[in-house]
Amino acid sequence: MEPRSRGAAPGGVSVSAVLPAGGSGERLGGATPKQFCAVQGRPLVSYAVRAMERISWISDIVVVVSPENIETMKSIIEKYGHKRVTVVEGGITRHRSIFNGLKVFAENEFSSHLLQKPEVVIIHDAVRPFVEEDTVSKVVMAAKEHGAAGAIRPLVSTVIASAADGCLDHSLERARYRASEMPQAFLFDIIYEAYQQCTDYDLDYGTECLHLALKYCKTNAKLVEGTPDLWKVTYKRDLYAAESIIKDNLSQQVCVITNVKETLAQVGFLLPESLKSQIKVEAISVSLSKNDSCLQSIISGQCYNFVCVNDKRWAIQETQELVDMLEKSNIPLLYPVVLILVHLDIPENNSFSIGMEDLTMIKKFARETKKKNILVYGLLIQYK
């Protein structure tokens, strides 16, 4: 891992994350384990990794997958350019997989390179694609103070206990109980101790880390109210639900960038006029490469989508700078950002001057940025 400047973790502790991604996804009803199913073209696990990765104070992200999926996971990491990720081979149950993930921070023999042991470790599911930094931060803070913490949600259905004859034994008073969700966080030494102490029965049949911390370390986890988006993708319908959340979270603002030439500035005026009834529009006339601070302030106003109008041939280089700036800005690229390159074909240029070479170049560029969740589209307009 290369050293990098990171924001301070809540409470100044060192933090890493373990993502169990070894499930078989049998409830989803398909051949592909759910963490590898695509939502808007990207595997679910990539969203979960991204959600951790964009939190600058998380040092290492350990993804635990079953042996047969190690290569798949590695190719996902490469394809989407994930950083700070270590892939670890899982066990046959959820608890055994998490234990394997934790060992990488503590035991030399389980990893070719021992990762630095964090004070607090986050455990998050690969099939919970959306988690805000605020929630993670609260859980980490609570873990620092209480030794363990986990996100909870209200129960959606009443929970009942069945008797041996398949009849109702009793129902639980819904208000007294909560659904235990993820992320959870622990002082590393507590959860690692719990895993070392626990029985094979726990490892094979248990699922709840908070339970292990309570049972083996007498640590009562602090419960933190989570957001509705924390739910776990379990059934096929949840993949569609995940897609809807992505759509709901797309930035509803666009910035139209034109340079100062007269014809372009005119388009830069007309386009926002016609767009503004449907979407919030900012319009600026600048040369892309020279106005970092101006664009920076637009981005910090939560406007991440851009239309760049240019009469140069697609202006790939300037656009590359914009993409770099978006990446550096640490904005929520968990949700797609749209970049539309408009090539104005103005009479004084050669008409339809776009050749195969240009097309190939822009397609290649679009393919690369797509991995970063930036969708680039090209548009040719004949303008008189």
- By rule CB under 8 A, what string of x and - marks binding of each residue 5-44 to a second copy? ----------------------x-----------------
**How many angstroms from the chain centroid is the CA of residue 134?**
14
Binds a second copy (CB under 8 A): choice among 71, 78, 107, 169 = 169
168 is a contact residue toward a second copy (CB under 8 A) = yes
Nearest alpha-carbon partner for 120 in 136, 133, 107:
136
Residue number with CB closer to a second copy (85 or 209): 209
What is the four-CA torsion angle of 295, 297, 299, 303, rounded to 10 degrees? -100
179 is a contact residue toward a second copy (CB under 8 A) = yes
Residue 191 Cβ vs a second copy, minimum distance, rounded to whole Å:
14
- Helical H segments across 206-285, by residue range: 209-217, 236-249, 262-275
299 is a contact residue toward a second copy (CB under 8 A) = no
Binds a second copy (CB under 8 A): choice among 3, 12, 41, 228 = 228
Residue 169 Cβ vs a second copy, minimum distance, rounded to whole Å:
8
176 is a contact residue toward a second copy (CB under 8 A) = yes
Task: Taking the CA atoms of 244, 228, 373 and 271 in sequence, report the sign of the dihedral they define.
Answer: positive
What is the DSSP pairing of strand 58-65 with strand 38-39?
unpaired
Binds a second copy (CB under 8 A): choice among 161, 262, 277, 384 = 161
146 is a contact residue toward a second copy (CB under 8 A) = yes
Residue 32 Cβ vs a second copy, minimum distance, rounded to whole Å:
16
Residue 205 Cβ vs a second copy, minimum distance, rounded to whole Å:
8
370 is a contact residue toward a second copy (CB under 8 A) = no
Residue number with CB closer to a second copy (107 or 243): 243
DSSP 8-state class, residue 205: H
Give the range of 185-193, 206-214, 268-276, 365-373 binding a second copy by CB under 8 A: 206-214
198 is a contact residue toward a second copy (CB under 8 A) = no
Residue number with CB closer to a second copy (205 or 377): 205
DSSP lists the bridge partners of residue 342 as 309, 379
Nearest alpha-carbon partner for 60 in 137, 122, 143, 149:
122
Binds a second copy (CB under 8 A): choice among 1, 30, 177, 300 = 177
Query: What are the distances in angstroms from CA 248 to CA 132, 242, 245, 278, 301?
Result: 15, 10, 5, 15, 18
Residue number with CB closer to a second copy (233 or 267): 233
Task: Taking the CA atoms of 37, 42, 43 and 44 in sequence, report the sign of the dihedral they define.
Answer: negative
Residue number with CB closer to a second copy (184 or 369): 184
Angle at 71 between CA 361 and CA 69, to 5 degrees: 125
Interface size with a second copy, residues (CB under 8 A): 57
236 is a contact residue toward a second copy (CB under 8 A) = yes
DSSP lists the bridge partners of residue 34 as none
Sequence-distant (≥ 6) Cβ neighbours of residue 359 within 8 angstroms: none
Q: Are 85 and 63 in contact (CB under 8 A)?
A: yes
Cα(97)–Cα(93) distance, rounded to whole angstroms? 6
Task: Taking the CA atoms of 239, 244, 250 and 256 in sequence, report the sign of the dihedral they define.
Answer: positive
150 is a contact residue toward a second copy (CB under 8 A) = yes
Give me the residues that bind a second copy (CB under 8 A), please.
27, 146, 148, 150, 152-153, 155-163, 166-172, 174-181, 205, 207-208, 210-211, 214, 220-223, 228-229, 231-232, 234-245, 248
